[in-house]
Amino acid sequence: MGRRLGPLLVLCAALLAATALPAGPATATARDRAGQDPAAARSPRPLDQVIPAPASVRAHGKPYTLTPRTVIRVSGGSGHGARHRVPEDIRRVAGQLADLLRPATGYRLPVTTRPGRDGIHLRLAAERGLGREGYRLQVSERAAVLTAGEAAGLFHGVQTLRQLLPAAIEARTPQPGPWRIAGGTLTDRPRYAYRGAMLDVARHFFPVDAVKRYIDQLALYKINTLHLHLSDDQGWRIAVDSWPRLATHGGSTQVGGGPGGHYTKDDYREIVRYAAARHLTVVPEIDMPGHTNAALASYAELNCDGKAPPLYTGTEVGFSSLCVPLERTYDFVDDVIRELAALTPGPYLHIGGDEAHSTSHDDYVAFMKRVQPVVAEYGKTAIGWHQITAAPRRGTIAQYWGYDRTGAEERAQVAAAARNGTKLVLSPADRSYLDMKYDKDTPLGLSWAGYVSTQRSYDWNPATYLEGVPEEAVLGVEAPLWTETLATSAQLQYMALPRLPGIAELGWSPAATHDWDRYRHRLAQQAPRWDALGLDYYRSPQVPWPR
């Protein structure tokens, strides 16, 4: 489905853009067709109409209009006046903003350190209450000023600015405009520090470019963490120098028997670099001790019986386990964690730990007790799927992936760990799993946790979701995308959109902004943007899409 729909949508978006090109009445026609009130389309979008919802908004004054003479000013850092040195990461955000605005506007939009009171201004300045990722946007007739204490805040502010402009700003060919931003002041900062999305590149392999496209979608919604599920029964996707067959053999297939693939270390560094430039941290995951058939197939010596199983291309889970009593297992684990930690600038390394159905409970606990210190030894904080709370260790983060049928005992174990200091990332399968079908007719995805409609994925509160968990134990939320049934970027998009923005909003926006009925209207306005970006999405009947 997605394989065909994707290009078709790009074509439709291009045609729409083409018909909208002649100025005047033709523009109005295109907007009428999109089902918008032409008068409303002419007035700029209200400042609160972005996703995630901003923390606070005050409308006042006249809108700011981009013109062919608009400049993008950057300031901050050390020094004074025209001679001050603006840090490289701030200039980069300004460059990203210019790259975003130039194609559709056709304006030059030079980036300058020259002081001035007009234009779009990215200001690095310490301001109370903005934190590491927050920003303030002040819009008047003369200027649109973004202020933040760090580059990440300016980057998130740019995403807001982008969503406040008409969707046509995303087009890569000149569009008619006008390019206006409503007047007022918007002050914004995230509710949670960890706002993640996971991509399973093990069940189906996704090349570097596909991962980059996904990162682009995450950045638009202020997600700051990309968790990569790099190994599973069906494939090992990262080169490890000390155990080369993991990638060359273990990565040589995927679900359904295709050729699979793996990332070289340079590929992985490129993903990390691309993510970092968009203020996302990469969390690599090596799933252990279960979900390890690809590793076991690559090295006979890792198996208790010394025999390598064949590669696996099905979709069963829970049949493989590293050999816990075997010393060689820990050489392997040490080498893999050491090499992966060295490649990873971020603070976290995920060691899986889910569905170890072929590992005895005692072996599981013994394994996790031995492996967590290895992660610490190489300077990283371990994250594990919530079963890891059977072997709690100070500092380790647990990722909750339960659903409505998760047993009370299991929940209680997680809650007890949380009360004892274990931080939690919440990714409840029946809320945040992007691979769950929307309803019975969804052609892709799985349904073991039930159907996850757009409303269901948005309508929950991370702070109160798990009984007995103190609010401050929640580090944040994550939306995993497992790929047993997904093989193309268009298919990833179809499952992620429109649910991903909802999880992003739960992670960013204050609880006070939470309101499904208002949210679904804001969500509907994202569709023309996805069309302009050539992204596939599911037209959920719960959302009042334009046209």
Contact footprint for ligand TNX (CB under 6 A): 317, 354-355, 385, 401, 433, 435, 446, 482, 484
How far are the Cα atoms of 30, 177, 181, 524 from residue 27, in angstroms, in the given order?
5, 9, 19, 20
Nearer to ligand TNX, 168 or 424 (CB): 424
Residue from 355, 377, 472, 484 carrying the catalytic annotation = 355
Residues 6+ apart with CB under 8 A from 244: none
| Integer Cα distance of 307 and 94 in angstroms | 56
Other Cβ atoms within 10 Å of 115 Cβ, number? 12
- What distance separates the 2 farthest-apart alpha carbons in the chain? 76
Instruction: List the beta bridge partners of residue 95.
Output: none
| Minimum gap (Å) between residue 489 Cβ and ligand TNX | 19
Instruction: List the beta bridge partners of residue 56.
Output: 187
Q: Is 285 a catalytic residue?
A: no
| Minimum gap (Å) between residue 455 Cβ and ligand TNX | 20
Contact between residue 449 and residue 429 where contact means Cβ atoms under 8 Å apart: yes
Contact between residue 472 and residue 419 where contact means Cβ atoms under 8 Å apart: no
Nearer to ligand TNX, 179 or 385 (CB): 385
Other Cβ atoms within 10 Å of 124 Cβ, number? 21
| Minimum gap (Å) between residue 398 Cβ and ligand TNX | 11
| Minimum gap (Å) between residue 484 Cβ and ligand TNX | 6
Other Cβ atoms within 10 Å of 103 Cβ, number? 15
| Integer Cα distance of 258 and 255 in angstroms | 7
| Minimum gap (Å) between residue 511 Cβ and ligand TNX | 26
Asked if the bond preceding 309 is cis, omega within 30° of 0, the reply is: no
How far are the Cα atoms of 245, 378, 414, 456, 489 from residue 478, in angstroms, in the given order?
31, 25, 17, 15, 19
Nearer to ligand TNX, 192 or 401 (CB): 401
Nearer to ligand TNX, 122 or 398 (CB): 398
Nearer to ligand TNX, 219 or 492 (CB): 492
Nearer to ligand TNX, 127 or 355 (CB): 355
Residue-wise DSSP of 278-330: TT-EEEEEEEESSS-HHHHHH-GGGSTTS-PPPP--S---S-----TT-HHHH
Nearer to ligand TNX, 277 or 446 (CB): 446
Distance between alpha carbon 4 and the CA centroid of its chain, in Å? 25
Nearer to ligand TNX, 123 or 437 (CB): 437
| Minimum gap (Å) between residue 157 Cβ and ligand TNX | 34
| Integer Cα distance of 193 and 223 in angstroms | 10
As given in the structure block, the two tokens for residue 311 are 């590669």
As given in the structure block, the two tokens for residue 195 are 């706002």
| Minimum gap (Å) between residue 146 Cβ and ligand TNX | 38
Question: Tokens 């691309």, residue?
Answer: 274
Burial letters 382-412, b for 16+ CB under 10 A, else e: bbbbbbbbbbbbeebbbbbbbbeebeeeebe
| Integer Cα distance of 465 and 475 in angstroms | 13
Contact between residue 154 and residue 146 where contact means Cβ atoms under 8 Å apart: yes
| Minimum gap (Å) between residue 393 Cβ and ligand TNX | 19
Contact between residue 475 and residue 383 where contact means Cβ atoms under 8 Å apart: no
| Integer Cα distance of 411 and 418 in angstroms | 11
Three-state secondary structure of 10-44: HHHHHHHHHHHCCCCHHHHHHHHHCCCCHHHHHCC
Nearer to ligand TNX, 105 or 320 (CB): 320
Strand arrangement, sheet containing 72-75: 56-59, 184-188, 135-139, 143-148, 119-124, 72-75, 111-112
Nearer to ligand TNX, 112 or 315 (CB): 315
| Minimum gap (Å) between residue 287 Cβ and ligand TNX | 8
Q: Active-site positions?
A: 355
